[in-house]
Amino acid sequence: MLQKSASFPGIQGPIVTIVMDGYGIAKSDVGSAIAAARKPTLDRLFANYPNITLRAHGVAVGMPSDEDMGNSEVGHNAIGAGQVYSQGASLVADAIASGSIWQGAAWQQIVAGARAGRGVIHFIGLFSDGNVHSHIDHLRAMILRAREEGVPAVRVHILIDGRDVPETSALEYVLPFEAFLAELCRDGFDARIASGGGRMNITMDRYEANWNMVEKGWHTHVLGEGEQYESASEAVKVLRVKLPGTIDQDLPPFVIASDGRPVGTIEDGDSVIFFNFRGDRSIEITRAFEEKSFDKFDRIRVPSVTYAGMLQYDGDLKLPKRFLVDPPAILDTMGEWFAKSGITQFACSETQKFGHVTYFWNGNRSNKFDGETYQEVLSDVVPFEQRPWMKAAEIADAMIEALNSGQYRTLRCNFANGDMVGHTGSFRAATMAIEAVDLQLARILPVVQALGGVALITADHGNADEMYEIDKKTKQPAQNPDGSFKAKTSHTLNPVPFILYDAVTGGRLGLKQLPSAGLSNIAATITHLLGFEKHAKWDESLLEVK
Ligand SMILES: O=C(O)[C@H](O)COP(=O)(O)O
Ligand SMILES: [Mn+2]
Ligand SMILES: [Mn+2]
């Protein structure tokens, strides 16, 4: 049990945490869809209520360096755990640097498995240096090691990014990588890219939003079915001409073939490494490889392979069974300790972010703690620039109903809009995304007040706050050859807001802007508002009681 606070009895009503995904505080208004949005509720909150900024990127959320932007996994992990752990990106980089990854049973089984079969290791994963789901340096290191250990062949199945890196940067990765593989193809070693496609088109679905993406990925990587090209660079170039305006993340699948035959189907006896370290978008394809009674789509042919994930993606489901690097052992989360202390919890989002406020929040565990209630609002399966409001209204409906039920001491939700629409690169749609969230805050907050509660409004990282690549010299949006602005689809390095909506104590509460204040201070702050002492491992509360 958490101890009751000696100094503060807690707020009587519900404590609500609202995560506005992808809402950062930019240094300049240039290219900010947030600055351009009409958002009277947020404006009023910033003007009239205690608010500070929180660090949401780099080492403050367990990333290797402050050059690394934040992301939903590390952000929600830090919020939910109240502590900062070295995250997948750091753990994998360290395991490679120290060589411990090669000593692990999983790597050795991958190599032995391939040797006992046709001698092929397949690598499937997100092909960039975004460091959100994967890093291309990890892929290169594994290929070099496989060669050193005498594995005769590797096949690489590339998921083209353009979402954590610039939107049409694919060739900046593909061309040097093709040269890298060509250089290695000596002394009987045979390494090729075998298939690929845009990450938002195939394979990397999450939270079961659209299994069809994974089915397309299976047909592409495993069965080798689809449009054939001579090389990945040719595929990217031809597809760009064929489908003008299609950004990298949406590129259709392609198969590399020679004389009409795919160069790298996945066969019995092969080894397969899914080299993403982040779990949400790795779980479905992993299930397709591992589950015996898999029923999400017809796999047609199921090769018997030695499969490993870069990390274990779900600690409750033990998925995958084999993994190259141990995930962070995220212990003593807020969800767990609230459960132990009899504090009821309600969590809600739409499909695209549902796991963020449940699975990521609870340290990458898919099981509920006692006293937790989850509600998922089904996301549309559409390009989100066409529906920037997404399911914000339905999430607010669910929150209001849960608040009025009187059953929950704490409630949390995630509004996906700023992030999911921010990733599309559409400035206009992103302003509407922010406006949609603002409109729903205006509905939820009066209900919180009427029940004698308070709300914390924050975000997990930036995104809609910078919608254009900024030219470093002019500080103005960078331009494409045709004069249009270069869209920025990725997250930002900016801090995020932390607002205390308190319309019930007559201004007794404030927030402390500690220099180190970050997402990991939120758990203790919520706990403080509930009238409990924080867990000893958590970073401190930012609440000020006057
Ligand atoms: O998976 C994605 O959509 C992006 O790579 C990162 O976005 P998220 O961290 O906000 O989910
Ligand atoms: Mn996010
Ligand atoms: Mn995002």
Active site residue 72: yes
Query: pLDDT category, 464, cuts 50, 70, 90?
Result: very high
Burial of 358 (0-12, 13-18, 19+ CB in 10 A): buried
Cα-Cα-Cα-Cα torsion 122, 123, 124, 130, nearest 10 degrees, comes to -170
Tell me the pLDDT of the chain averaged across its residues. 98
Phi and psi torsions of 53, nearest 5°: -115, 150
Q: What is the pLDDT of residue 174?
A: 99
Mean pLDDT throughout 275-287? Answer: 98
Pocket mutation for ligand 1, best pick of 71, 207, 248, 390 (most atoms within 8 Å of C-beta): 71
Is residue 111 within 8 Å of 103, Cβ to Cβ? no
Q: What is the pLDDT of residue 472?
A: 87
Task: Of 419, 386, 422, 415, give the one whose Cα is nearest residue 31.
Answer: 422
Is residue 31 left, alpha or beta, with left meaning phi > 0 and alpha meaning psi from -120 to 50? left
* Residue 419 alpha carbon to ligand 3 centre in Å: 5
CA 206/CA 280 separation, integer angstroms? 5
Model confidence pLDDT, tens digit, residues 94-106: 999 999 999 999 9
For the CA of 206, the closest atom of ligand 1 is 1
Model confidence pLDDT, tens digit, residues 169-220: 999 999 999 999 999 999 999 999 999 999 999 999 999 999 999 999 999 9
Percent of the chain's residues with pLDDT above 90:
98
Pairing state between β 410-415 and 306-311? unpaired
pLDDT at residue 66 above 90?
Answer: yes
Which residue CA neighbors atom 11 of ligand 1 most closely?
Answer: 72
- Provide CB contacts within 8 A for 105, sequence distance 6+: none
Model confidence pLDDT, tens digit, residues 35-63: 999 999 999 999 999 999 999 999 999 99
Pocket mutation for ligand 1, best pick of 127, 132, 135, 351 (most atoms within 8 Å of C-beta): 132
Dump the DSSP string for 446-464: HHHHHTT-EEEEE-SSBST
Model confidence pLDDT, tens digit, residues 466-513: 999 998 899 899 998 889 999 999 999 999 999 999 999 999 999 999
